[in-house]
Amino acid sequence: MTNTTAPLPLIRLPVPPDRLIYSRLPTDFYPWTEVLTDLERRQDPEFSAVMDIQQDSRWARFVWVRGVARGGVGAGGRDVPLEITMQALSQAQVTLTQVDPLVAEIIWLCRATPPQPLVSPWPQAYDELSRERFYGALIAENTCSYWESGRVVSGVIPHSGMACLVVTPASRLDRTELLRFWQQMIAMAQRANPSFSEVWRQVGMQLSVEHVALDPFAHDITVQAGVLRVAPDVPVQELRPALLAAFRGTLTRLGLRLVDLPINDLKQQAIWGIAGMEAS
């Protein structure tokens, strides 16, 4: 899918502007203490936002996902704390934008990932991104769109003929971490409803046309008594969307909701977004 040339320098992903809260607010006239008070007032479980701080050529970016502060990043993809940023950029301009939780998660996870050029221009690139269930951001000239499982969830798609760049989190391909996450989620759901494993098998059969690894007779992905087992030769690119689809489908069939499960600790971890749960 991507070109074999060297990756480009790091970039700050564009933030969708449609839910702008304030733009280029000068801390000379609106002190940091008042900015912090405003941020504290906005905190609730639905607050997902990106705060950009700029002073001359220096900058920092901070991200919240569903009320949880993911952290801050500065030039070169280095993580930075807010306290140090306020001291270093004492005469900055502050822009705060509320965004979809999935967009916020992608922006945070891609903070230190350089873009890669795609071989095909738009719209040929769409088929590749859809087939590979792309997760991340697609950039072309002045457009940027955010993707989950090969579909656009926010932003603007390119015009025909535009060359494309993609940014996707490097950590999203960590198979061990992904499996550990789903083992915990499935165990929780099994405890909440003992029928989970049997319904998973039924749902997997229905989804196996799209996700071959879910075919219960192939034994690539199985769930028995709430224990997930995955064959070692299932590629992680197939594993992630298959597990996500089967889990969603099984919860729906059982009438279970995510809020019925003790997921608060997992929601605060980056793997929550990597696994695709921000789109749930």
Q: pLDDT tens across 220-266, in order? A: 999 999 999 999 888 777 788 889 999 999 999 999 988 889 988 88
Q: For residue 168, what pLDDT is reported?
A: 87
Mean pLDDT over residues 66-94, rounded?
91
169-226 per-position pLDDT tens digit = 865 557 788 899 999 999 999 999 999 999 999 999 999 988 889 988 888 999 999 9
Q: How far is CA 168 from CA 23, 91, 124, in A?
A: 27, 33, 19
Q: For residue 269, what pLDDT is reported?
A: 76
17-36 per-position pLDDT tens digit = 999 999 999 998 899 999 99
Kindly report whether the global pTM for this prediction surpasses the value 0.85: no
91-110 per-position pLDDT tens digit = 999 999 999 999 999 999 89
Q: How, if at all, do strands 165-167 and 136-140 pair?
A: antiparallel
- Higher confidence at residue 94 or residue 275? 94
Q: For residue 280, what pLDDT is reported?
A: 54
Question: What does the block give as tokens for 96?
Answer: 């705060």
pLDDT above 70 covers a percentage of the chain that reads 94
